[in-house]
């Protein structure tokens, strides 16, 4: 292994830069040449590769987004597109790749490995929707962003005695809603894994109001439905004035938390180590604070499970 390529792909997440920095710096430390690929698999197909040095990744550990930029590439899903990418990798003498992204990007990493380029996946997504790993890079930052928003909405919710619904990201996974809901002291958390129990949400609101609670916060994961419609329904059913806030893409940006920077640094360095051990077709994960690797197919075949303990605890603490 002499030349390692690195790219970020799919949805961005805070901490991707820290992961790129870890790949570049630990790769150079181990005597490798590191090539940065711009704009994900699209950049690979179009030959947007540049050699990285120690300074290329200076001053990025604290920045959100990705300095390599990201893209979704339709062309890479085709065999011809991947063949073009392979030719580019041959021209630039790239021996192995690190792909930082979500499950879709890992499918691409698997395809690159099949084409003879050992490729390691590093999980960069705010959704935390990958079962094989405890955490993905960006999740902790997104949760902190949501908790910050909850605190602000709580202030105004209390002043007016209103109910507030906060819609958060996560696609089909409720982890952002769950963790931010617990940390933010939400009354109800509505996630796709459990579904919406309208009666229960309304019962809690009324119970809270009757015992003099001034604020009511409901966290809604985007995978269940829209906050505006739900707000109208709750207002009709309970007679409580209800406001909806959709946090949207602000959850994808911002300076990564220390947790995400550390996770990204460890995972990026582990990916390089794996390539230097001539391993490919693997993803890096973290369990019990230790990084490990697993076959991509095996990792993606694991169905994401609800963190039931957290869900139950939130319910108990919001009585």
CB-nearer residue toward ligand ADP: 119 or 242: 119
**Token representation of residue 238:** 């309970």
- Give the footprint of ligand ADP on this chain (CB under 6 A): 9-11, 41, 72-73, 76-77, 101-105, 107-108, 111, 125
Distance, in Å, from the CA atom of 68 to the CA atom of 8, rounded to the nearest integer, reads 7
CB-nearer residue toward ligand ADP: 43 or 231: 43
Q: Are 66 and 264 in contact (CB under 8 A)?
A: no
CB-nearer residue toward ligand ADP: 8 or 188: 8
Alpha helices in 55-138 (DSSP H): 79-91, 103-114
Beta pairing, strands 163-168 & 242-246: parallel
Minimal distance, residue 120 CB to ligand ADP, in Å: 14
Question: Residue 6: enclosing H or E segment and its boundaries?
Answer: strand 3-8
Annotated active-site residue 129? The verdict is: no
Q: Are 284 and 298 in contact (CB under 8 A)?
A: no
At residue 283, φ and ψ (nearest 5 deg) are: -115, 150
Catalytic residue among 42, 103, 127, 129: 127
Distance, in Å, from the CA atom of 90 to the CA atom of 283, rounded to the nearest integer, reads 23
CB-nearer residue toward ligand ADP: 47 or 104: 104
The catalytic site residues sit at: 127
């Amino acid at each position: 292994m002499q030349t390692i390529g690195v790219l970020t792909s799919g949805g961005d997440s805070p901490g991707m830069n820290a992961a790129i920095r870890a790949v570049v710096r630990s790769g150079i430390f181990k005597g490798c040449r590191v090539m940065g690929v711009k704009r994900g698999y699209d950049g690979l197909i179009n030959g947007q590769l540049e050699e990285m040095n120690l300074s290329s990744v200076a001053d990025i550990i604290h920045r959100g987004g990705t300095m390599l930029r990201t893209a979704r590439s339709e062309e890479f899903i085709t065999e011809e597109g991947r063949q073009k990418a392979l030719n580019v990798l041959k021209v630039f003498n790239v021996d192995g790749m690190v792909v930082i992204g979500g499950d879709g990007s890992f499918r691409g990493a698997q395809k690159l490995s099949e084409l003879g380029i050992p490729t390691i996946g590093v999980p960069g997504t705010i959704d935390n929707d990958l079962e094989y790993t405890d955490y993905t890079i960006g999740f902790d930052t997104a949760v902190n962003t949501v908790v910050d928003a909850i605190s602000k909405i709580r202030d105004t919710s209390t002043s007016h005695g209103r109910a507030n619904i906060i819609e958060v990201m996560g696609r089909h996974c409720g982890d952002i809603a769950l963790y931010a809901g617990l940390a933010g002291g939400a009354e109800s958390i509505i996630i796709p894994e459990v579904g919406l129990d309208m009666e229960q949400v309304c019962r809690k609101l009324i119970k809270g109001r009757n015992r003099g609670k001034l604020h009511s916060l409901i966290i809604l994961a985007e995978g269940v439905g829209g906050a505006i419609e739900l707000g109208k329904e709750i207002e009709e059913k309970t007679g409580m004035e209800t406001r909806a806030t959709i946090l949207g893409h602000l959850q994808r940006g911002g300076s990564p938390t220390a947790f995400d920077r550390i996770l990204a640094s460890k995972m990026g360095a582990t990916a390089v180590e794996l390539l230097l051990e001539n391993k490919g077709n693997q993803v890096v994960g973290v369990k019990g604070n230790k990084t490990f690797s697993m076959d991509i197919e095996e990792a993606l075949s694991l169905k994401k499970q609800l963190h039931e303990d957290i869900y139950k605890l939130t319910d108990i603490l919001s009585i």
